[in-house]
Structure formats: C-alpha cells, structure tokens
Amino acid sequence: MSGRFITFEGIDGAGKSTHVESVAQHLRQRGAELIQTREPGGTPLAESLRGLFLHQDMDGLTEALLVFAARRDHVQRVIAPALAQGRTVLCDRFTDASFAYQGGGRGMDLQVLATLAQWVQQGREPDLTFWFDVEPAVAAARRAQARDADRLEQLDLDFFERVRAGYQRRAESAPGRIVRIDAGDTIEGVAAQIRAELERRGW
C-alpha cells in the first residue's frame, strides 16, 4: 500500500477513537506502514496547545487560531513527512473538526476557516474521512460514563446539535471523501461499516 491519509471525525462521545486501532490492524495486515496521531496534538508543541485548548476559557476565534497553529506544526513535522515516505497516516480529527466545532458550534465565518485551512495545509486533504454520526444525547450519555468532561464537552446539547449539523454540511460538500458511519450502532456494527468501506476501496 502507498501512503494514505485517513481521518476520523465526530462529536465527542461518538466512539471514533475506539475504532482507530482496528483500522490500523486491518491496514497493517494489508501491508501498510502507518502512524497513528491526533488533533489537536501529534507533536510536542501541538500537545502543549491541546492542553490550553481543552482547559482554558477562550472564544471561538481564539480556539480556531490555536488549533490551526497546532495543525500547522503537526502537518509539517508529522503528517507531510510520513506521507512522503509512503506511510499511511491515521489521524483522530483534522480540519473537518474546525468547520464543525468552530464553524457549526461557535458560528464562525466559514470563509475565515477556509482561509486558515489553505494557509496551514496548502491544499493537503485527507484521502478518506470516516464521520461517526450519532445523536448528541447518545454521545453525552457515553461521555458521562467514560470520563470527566473537558471544557467543550461541558457545553449543552444545542451546541452539539450545531456541531453535528456542521459535520453534515462538510459531508455534503465532499461526498467522495467523507463517509458517514452510523455510530449509534453496536461496536461490532460500526466496525463492519468501516470494513465494508475499506474493502470497497480495495484497501
């Protein structure tokens, strides 16, 4: 397998992180050399910015600028070099999250986000994005059982409804790249949906 860039998206509690490792195992069996990473994060600098993002109060524009700064370092130091070496990159969140959370959830101007994305990514986009779609109330119940809430996870269901709608708009704008996964299904059912898409692509 040549290097591919695969991202995993969805509101907090959708269950996407659970399935990153199973995708990694599947692709390794097919001969892929890969790395697993996340956003915000993936480099020492970006991980430091992640801590600020999750725990310090700030407005939507500050959130976006912080995440795109982390993303720039991540792309330069990790993602681009790995792809250039023919490795596959699995990333828990990427730019779709900015359009969903800061664009949909916070109501930021989408053109501003598009400009930031162009500056930071210089045209680089994922080859495939799995969007784990689930009702916000279901996701909230899962989060409550799994962990203490961070700054964003403490926001109300209306916020996450707007985030979900933001993801829906992104999916409609890039139907060849973004694949909706019914994340309300069982873990086994979600895994089957993912395998089916990978097999359809011959991956």
Distance CA 139, CA 152 (A): 13
pLDDT grade for 15, boundaries at 50, 70 and 90: confident
pLDDT surpasses 80 at 145: no
101: nearest Cα among 53, 38, 145, 148: 53
Q: For strand 34-38 and strand 88-92, is the pairing parallel, antiparallel, or unpaired?
A: parallel
Confidence at residue 141, expressed as pLDDT on a 0 to 100 scale: 82
Structure-token pair, residue 107:
């109501």
Task: Give dist(CA 52, CA 63) in Å, integer.
Answer: 9
105-109, 138-142, 144-148, 194-198: least confidently modelled range: 144-148
Q: What is the pLDDT of residue 142?
A: 79
Residues flagged as binding site for ATP: 10-17
DSSP summary character for residue 151: T
Instruction: Report pLDDT for 6.
Output: 98
Of residues 30 and 145, which shows the higher confidence score? 30
User: What residues are designated binding site?
Assistant: 10-17
Domain span at 134: 5-201
Number of domains in the chain: 1
Average pLDDT of the residues in 94-106 = 97
CATH code (residue 195): 3.40.50.300
Q: Is pLDDT of 88 > 60?
A: yes
Angle, alpha carbons 85-118-66 (nearest 5°): 90
Q: Is the dihedral of CA 144, 74, 59, 119 positive or negative?
A: negative
What average pLDDT does the chain have? 92
